[in-house]
Structure 1
Amino acid sequence: MKSQVMPKEMHKTLRKQKPLRPYRLLRIELRRMRHLYDACLYTFSTTNSYLDAQLKAGTILPSSKIVVPDTERVLAWSPIELLERMKRTYPEMLRASLLVRAVSHMENYLVDLLNEVAARSLTPFKSQDKIVSFSQAHLLSFDSADQLRSHLIKSECRALSGKGFRDFEKYYKRHFNVIFSQAKVSIEEIDGVYARRHLLVHAGGVIDKQFQKKFAPNAHPGQSLEIPEDYFLQSLTNLEILAEYCSARIEVLFPKKDDPEPPAIAQFIDEFLEQLSKAAKKVSSESPMLISWFGGVFRTRELLDAHFGDNSSFHIDEVSHSLNEILVGKKRTGERAIQWLVCGEKAVVGPYIAYLEYLSRRGMLEEFEKHTVQKQTTLLKLLSADRSATT
Structure 2
Amino acid sequence: MSRLKQYLEFNREIKRLISLYNASLYCFPNQGKQIKKSINEGEIEPMQKIYLNGIEEDKFFLAGNAHELANKLRSGFSKNLREITLIRAISALEVLLIELIREIFLHKKYLFHTGQKIEFSYGELLASDSISNIWSKVVNKECRKLQNQGFKEITKYYRNSFLIDFNSSKTSTFKIQYIHDIRHLLVHRLGKTDAHFRHTYNSQNKTIVLSEDFFYESLLDIINFGKFVSFSVDKLIASPNSFKIGNKNDTISTIEVKILDELSEKIFQSDFSFISGENFHLLGDIVNKIEKDDAELKINLCGPKLVVRDYIKILKVYQKNQQIEILSKTIKTKEKITQDDIDKIRSNVNKFDLTEDELLDLEKKVGIKKNMIKRILSELKLEIQNHS
TM-score by length of 1: 0.57
Q: Output the amino acid matched with 1:68.
A: L
Deviation at 1:174, TM superposition (A): 0.8
1:48 aligns with one of 17, 32, 36: 32
Distance across 1 between alignment mates of 2:194 and 2:221: 24
Distance across 2 between alignment mates of 1:251 and 1:72: 53
- In structure 2, the CA distance between the partners of 1:118 and 1:224, relative to structure 1 (3 Å rule), is same
Distance across 1 between alignment mates of 2:157 and 2:26: 41
Q: Is 1:58 the equivalent of 2:32?
A: no
SS at structure 2 position matched to 1:161 = helix
Distance across 2 between alignment mates of 1:204 and 1:76: 20
Question: Hey, what does 2:80 align to over in structure 1?
Answer: 93
1:102-141 to 2 correspondence within 5 Å?
Answer: 102-127=89-114, 129-141=115-127
1:198 aligns with one of 176, 180, 184: 184
Distance across 2 between alignment mates of 1:243 and 1:207: 27
Contact 1:121 / 1:254 at 8 angstroms: preserved in 2? yes
Which structure 1 residue ranges, 5 or more long, are not aligned? 1-13, 266-391
Deviations 1:317-338 (A, max 9, x none): xxxxxxxxxxxxxxxxxxxxxx
Question: Hey, what does 2:149 align to over in structure 1?
Answer: 163
Deviation at 1:143, TM superposition (A): 3.2
SS at structure 2 position matched to 1:225 = coil
After superposing the two structures, state which structure 1 stretch, 171-180 or 92-101, moved more.
92-101
- In structure 2, the CA distance between the partners of 1:91 and 1:189, relative to structure 1 (3 Å rule), is same
Deviation at 1:85, TM superposition (A): 2.4
Distance across 1 between alignment mates of 2:271 and 2:81: 49
Deviation at 1:155, TM superposition (A): 1.9
Distance across 2 between alignment mates of 1:131 and 1:75: 54
TM-score by length of 2: 0.58
The CA RMSD measured in Å over matched residues stands at 2.4
Contact 2:98 / 2:147 at 8 angstroms: preserved in 1? yes
Distance across 2 between alignment mates of 1:39 and 1:171: 38
Distance across 1 between alignment mates of 2:56 and 2:271: 59
Aligned length: 242
Deviations 1:79-126 (A, max 9, x none): 221123234582211211121111222111111101111111102101
Question: Hey, what does 1:22 align to over in structure 2?
Answer: 6
Distance across 2 between alignment mates of 1:235 and 1:162: 23
Deviation at 1:156, TM superposition (A): 1.6
Contact 2:36 / 2:67 at 8 angstroms: preserved in 1? no
After superposing the two structures, state which structure 1 stretch, 107-116 or 46-55, moved more.
46-55
- In structure 2, the CA distance between the partners of 1:65 and 1:152, relative to structure 1 (3 Å rule), is closer
Distance across 2 between alignment mates of 1:163 and 1:49: 47
Q: Output the amino acid matched with 1:100.
A: I
Contact 1:114 / 1:157 at 8 angstroms: preserved in 2? yes
Q: Is 1:72 the equivalent of 2:56?
A: yes
Distance across 2 between alignment mates of 1:253 and 1:139: 31
Deviations 1:278-317 (A, max 9, x none): xxxxxxxxxxxxxxxxxxxxxxxxxxxxxxxxxxxxxxxx
Contact 2:29 / 2:75 at 8 angstroms: preserved in 1? no
SS at structure 1 position matched to 2:53 = coil
